[in-house]
Amino acid sequence: MMSPAHYLFLSLALFLIGSIGVITRRNVIVVLMSIELILNAVNINLVAFSRIFGDVSGQVFALFIIADAAAEAAVGLGIIIAFFRNRETVLADEMDLLKW
Partner 1 sequence: MVTPFGYFLTHLWLVPLFPLTSASLMLLIGRLLPKGAVSFLCVGSVFLSFVHAAGAVFELLAAPPAHRVFQSILFEWVTAGVMPTFGGATSFAADWGYLLDPLSSIMVLVVTGVGFLIHVYSIGYMGREGGYYRFFGYLNLFMFSMLTLVLANNLLLLFVGWEGVGLCSYLLIGFYFLKKSASDAGKKAFIVNRVGDTGFLLGIFFIATTFGTIRFTSQGLGDPRGFPGIFEVLAAMVKQGRLAFGAPVLTTIALLLFVGATGKSAQLPLYVWLPDAMEGPTPVSALIHAATMVTAGVYMVARMNAIYQLSPAAMDVVAVVGALTAVFAATMALAQTDIKKVLAYSTISQLGYMFLALGVGAFAAGIFHLMTHAFFKALLFLGAGSVIHALSGEQDLRKMGGLWNAIPATSRPFLVATLAIAGMPPLAGFFSKDEILGRTIARSAMLDRYLALWIIGVFTAGLTAFYMFRLLNLTFFGLSRIPHEVEHHIHESPKSMTIPLAILALLSIVGGWVALPALWGAESPFEKFLEPVLSGVIPETGAIQFAHHPLIIEFLLMAVSVAVAGFGIWLAYRLYLKFPHLHSKVAASWPRLHKLLNNKYYVDELYDAIFVNRIKDLSTAFALFDTRVIDGLGVDGSASLTRILSQISMWGDKWVVDGMVNFVGKFTQLLSHPVRMFQTGLFSSYAMWILIGLAILLGYYSRHMEVLVRHLR
Partner 2 sequence: MLASIVFYFFAGMAVASAALMVTRRNAVHSAVLLVTTLLATAGIFLQLRAEFIFIAQIILYVGGIMVLFIFVIMLVRFDVALQHIRFRLQRWVALFVALALGVEITIVLLFARRLPGQGLLIEEPASADKLPPNTEELARSLFSSYLLPFEIVSVLLLVAMVGAVVMAKKRINDQ
Q: Which is nearer to partner 1, 56 or 91 (CB)?
A: 91
Please give the single-letter amino acid code of residue 80: I
Among 5, 96, 99, 100, binds partner 2 (CB under 8 A): 5
In the complex, the smallest distance separating the C-beta of residue 17 from partner 1, rounded to whole angstroms, is 12
Distance CA(19)–CA(40), nearest Å, equals 12
Q: Which is nearer to partner 1, 88 or 96 (CB)?
A: 96
Would you count residue 25 as binding partner 2 (CB under 8 A)?
yes
CB 21 within 8 Å of CB 33: yes
Give the phi and the psi of residue 91 in degrees, each rounded to 5: -95, 130
